[in-house]
């Protein structure tokens, strides 16, 4: 079994909101009401998360958003985000964006919040 990776970070002017799966079904949440808190992430929730990732179509997302535009923009006050995933079978996805999002991005945020008990705002 591969080491699972679930990592998301998003920020604009405010401090970043970040969630990350750690070893032994623990999750780290860095967000407004959490200050690097360690939370328990039950296995059934992780498995359910992977099912939802499949349904949302995250594996088909592009690597960079906006797609095809060089990031010559100055990162001032827009929303910047990064996602790293690797499931138990080793299937991996890395994508990031600035002020541009894949379809169903809000569904991903919702699933991350369910998984980690976080309140990522988007």
Q: Any idea what the CATH number is for the domain that residue 13 is in?
A: 3.30.1560.10
Domain count, the chain: 1
pLDDT 10s digits, 57-92: 999 999 999 876 555 555 567 889 999 999 999 999
Q: Is residue 122 a part of any domain in this protein? A: no
pLDDT 10s digits, 41-61: 999 999 999 999 999 999 999
Buried b / exposed e over 90-102, threshold 16 CB at 10 Å, is eeebebebbeebb
DSSP SS3 for 40: strand
Helix (H) or strand (E) holding 6: strand 5-11
Q: Is residue 67 a part of any domain in this protein? A: yes
CA–CA distances in Å: residue 29 to residues 41, 59, 60, 89, 99: 11, 23, 26, 25, 23
Total-model pTM:
0.89
Containing structural domain, residue 96? 5-116
């Amino acid at each position: 079994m591969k080491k699972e990776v679930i990592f998301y970070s998003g920020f604009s002017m405010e401090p970043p909101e970040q969630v990350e799966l750690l070893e032994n079904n623990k999750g780290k949440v860095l967000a407004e009401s959490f200050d690097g808190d360690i939370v328990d992430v039950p296995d059934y929730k992780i498995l359910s998360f992977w099912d939802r990732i499949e349904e949302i179509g995250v594996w088909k997302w592009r690597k960079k958003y906006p797609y095809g535009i060089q990031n010559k923009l100055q990162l001032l006050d827009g929303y910047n985000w990064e996602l790293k995933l690797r499931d138990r079978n080793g299937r991996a996805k890395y994508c990031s964006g600035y002020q541009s999002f894949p379809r169903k991005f809000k569904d991903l945020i919702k699933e991350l919040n369910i998984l980690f008990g976080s309140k990522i705002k988007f």
